[in-house]
Amino acid sequence: MGFPPSVGTTSLPLPTDIPFTCLASRRARAHPGDEGMEVSTMQVAGWHVELEFDEDESHTRAAALLRLRDGTELRARGRATRDPRDPNEPRIGEELAGARALLDLAQQLMAKAGAEVRDLERV
């Protein structure tokens, strides 16, 4: 399974330069007249995630690819097996296999972020 440029994927443009304001947190009122709200401006960032599925009568395999802004590509796989007594419903196999691939991506991303934090602490 690979990731052909235009087969089985959907790409939506994500805004990368539109600032927006959000309520970041509710603070305890430490001073009289304090409104209790802290407002911050955040920059929108996007990641590109692709999921591709391969299925047969009883197995579904998912391949996931995550492209990060720093150019890193993380890849993961997930599998699901249908019990022969269950109805043949490919959507459920895709959801399970896809979820397992995304969980693997999440673990890889947490490990990457943790390593980057440790590297910054050494400086």
Provide the CATH number for the domain around residue 58: 3.30.160.240
Of the candidates 40, 37, 45, the one whose C-alpha atom is nearest the C-alpha of residue 16 is 45
Instruction: Assess if residue 27 is contained within a domain.
Output: no
Give the DSSP letter of residue 122: H
> What domain range includes position 84?
47-122
Instruction: Assess if residue 105 is contained within a domain.
Output: yes
Q: Determine the pLDDT at residue 28.
A: 42
- Count up the domains in the chain and report the number: 1
pLDDT, average across residues 15-36 = 44
Distance CA 94, CA 98 (A): 6
Residues 48-87: tens digit of each pLDDT: 999 999 999 999 999 999 999 999 999 999 999 999 999 8
Instruction: Assess if residue 61 is contained within a domain.
Output: yes
Backbone angles phi, psi at 111, to 5 degrees: -65, -40
